[in-house]
Amino acid sequence: MSALAQAVIDWFDEAARPLPWREPGFPAWGTLVSEIMLQQTPVARVIPRLAQWLERWPTPDALAADSPAEAVRAWDRLGYPRRALALHAAAVAISERHDGVVPREVDALLALPGIGDYTARAVASFAYGVRAPVVDVNTRRVIARAVNGLGEAGPARTRVDLAAMEALLPADPERARALNGGTMELGQTVCTARAPRCEACPIAHLCAWRSAGYPAYDGPAAPRQAKFEGSDRQVRGLIMRELRQSDTPVPAEVVEALWPDAVQRERALAGLLRDGLALGSAEEGYRLPGS
């Protein structure tokens, strides 16, 4: 095992935040739910919502037996609710194909609807201890700086990024899990994007970027998300809020009153219909799927 991997694991053993999904015995279903919730939402907002979700739907079977509309309603402001539909679809598949047990292997997880490469690897590693590289934006930043000597990671390249993490993983699955979690934690809390705390970093003495004198990054930039105010995301959110609050189809004129720009409003509505988050038409009104 490399000195860098050992240093991160040792640090993580002492510095890991006490998060629910890190508790001994936390269920694989809870890990799957937490990973999907965390994709676009800060940890502090996820923790209480995760507890509510697992109290209502403690197993995949419980969620599968409920309607997708209820999943979307419960998702509320956790980010784009298409993830709630994906989670419901995954629960149905787990119930029907795996006897209600979240599968262990990456390939089986990837075969679930709505489960991408990151989530599949995270669940396999963190819930089951499978030796698999797990890469998120924080992992990529730590590797870019400590290993490659670059101030930023640049655009994501899945195959390259996974290979870089794979090269660092210890052979032992438990240590590999600790390195996956520790590298992400290091990027979230110490090796941050805008104000890295190098004085508190356990691998500062091994960091190629620090040794090179922190050279400015001049490579391709990662895409940045557009501002929320005035965006299609804001319009979609307004429409979804109206649909969540109604048990009957929402008339087209109510939707029209939500946003003055007709072109943008229709574009946002079309996106919701395309993603399966809204059903209906101007004639019959709009509703959540399964409601």
Q: E strands along the chain, which residues?
A: 279-281, 285-287
Q: Write down the pLDDT at residue 228.
A: 79
What does the pLDDT read at residue 109? 98
**pLDDT tens track for 14-32:** 999 999 999 999 999 999 9
Residues 6+ apart with CB under 8 A from 107: none
Q: What is the mean pLDDT of residues 89-110?
A: 98
Domain edges within the chain: 18-128, 232-287
Catalytic member of 35, 152, 253, 256? 35
* 3-class state of residue 199 by DSSP: helix
Confidence at residue 290, expressed as pLDDT on a 0 to 100 scale: 85
- Residue 291, pLDDT above cutoff 80: no
Residues in the chain: 291
User: What integer pLDDT is reported at residue 76 of this predicted model?
Assistant: 82
**18-128 placed in CATH 2.40.30.10:** no
Question: What distances in angstroms separate CA 183 from CA 43, 115, 179, 261, one per listed residue?
Answer: 16, 22, 6, 44
Least confident residue range of 103-112, 173-182, 217-226, 282-291: 217-226
pTM greater than 0.85 (yes/no): yes
**Contact assessment for residue 112 and residue 99, using Cβ atoms and an 8 Å cutoff:** no
Which amino acid appears at position 80 of this protein?
Answer: Y
Phi, psi of 16 (to 5 degrees): -60, 130
Q: What is the DSSP letter of 281?
A: E
User: Is 35 among the catalytic positions?
Assistant: yes
- Residue 224: pLDDT band by 50, 70, 90 thresholds? confident
d(CA 173, CA 177): 6
Closest residue by Cα to residue 40 from 189, 245, 228: 228
pLDDT at 136 over 80: yes
Distance from C-alpha of 230 to C-alpha of 234, rounded to nearest angstrom: 6
Which residues on neighbouring strands pair with residue 280, listed in sequence order?
Answer: 286
